Amino acid sequence: MRRHRLFCPDLSEGAVVLPPEESHHAVASLRAKPGREVVLFDGFGGEGVGRIAQINGRQVRVDVAEVTRRPFELPHKVTLAVAMVKAHRQGYLIEKCTELGAAAIWPIIADRSVSKPTEAARKKWVRRAIEAAKQAERSWMPKIAPPQTFSQSVERIGEFDASSITHIDPSAKPFWTFLVSQADGSSILVWVGPEGGWSDDERGLALQAGATLTTLGPTVLRTETAAVAVCAAASMCGVMEDSASKSG
């Protein structure tokens, strides 16, 4: 029987109590009973196998024998700085980018934004990311930052080894070329713009700060499609490097 995965941010060896939402999910959806074996993960690479020891109402306690630390799943840690799409497409973006291995997602308020994300929306995205991480069997979960302006995100460019701003431009470097040129373990900040694209001021600000202008292809992509394309490229880069190491 497949062991169910549950999110436990305070994961440690010994007895741990699941967060309320995870406890409710274990009891109401999974029909969990004492003695059942489950896998817990904390979203920061920690993972442990445990057994449900007690269910008190909707509070679930799990006894964890050992916690292991797993490396980040991909060779590059991609932080996606994205001008958030309209509400009905936001969940898709969060879910798919989580499944594909995003390290962090920064909701950006841009000059041409069609949506101005709120803190209440961010809480929903965190929950969607948890469910996606379970589905993908990730030990890591993207850190979803509070909404920030484009200029605020540019001020943080120094936290990363490399950065890229995506844009349809004949002079732009293919994103894949940019990605594979980065060393393993690199942290990369990638800006994905709104439906109307980045403004000239925004593009200029990022380039002046040291970002590389890149393109995702010749066609005009929806914001959520572009975000998924960025994360898919990073995931495929990991697959190709793993294949090359095995064949070598």
Q: Give the pLDDT confidence of 187-209 residue by residue, as tens digits.
A: 999 999 998 899 999 999 999 99
Mean pLDDT of the 77-83 span: 98
**Which of 112-121, 144-153, 230-239 has the largest mean confidence?**
144-153
Same-fold call for 4-69 versus 77-247: no
- pLDDT at residue 58, rounded to an integer: 78
- pLDDT at residue 56, rounded to an integer: 87
Domain ranges of the chain: 4-69, 77-247
Residue 84's closest CA among 121, 113, 42?
113
User: Residue 214: which H helix or E strand, with range?
Assistant: strand 212-215
- Higher pLDDT: 247 or 233? It is 233
pLDDT in tens, 86-143: 999 999 999 999 999 999 999 999 999 988 888 889 999 999 999 999 999 999 999 9
- Split at pLDDT 50, 70, 90, the class of 215 is very high
pLDDT in tens, 23-72: 988 888 888 888 999 999 999 999 999 999 999 877 899 999 999 999 99
- pLDDT at residue 115, rounded to an integer: 86
Residue 175's closest CA among 242, 233, 235?
233
Topology, domain 4-69: Ribosomal Protein L25; Chain P (2.40.240)
- Burial annotation 108-139 (CB, 10 A radius, 16+ → b, else e): bbbbebebebeeebbeebbebbbebbbebebb
- pLDDT at residue 244, rounded to an integer: 47
Decide which of 3.40.50.1370, 1.20.120.420, 3.40.1280.10, 3.30.70.20 is the CATH code for 77-247: 3.40.1280.10
CA distance 157 to 150: 11
Interior angle at CA 132, CA 131 and CA 136, nearest 5: 120
- pLDDT at residue 28, rounded to an integer: 81
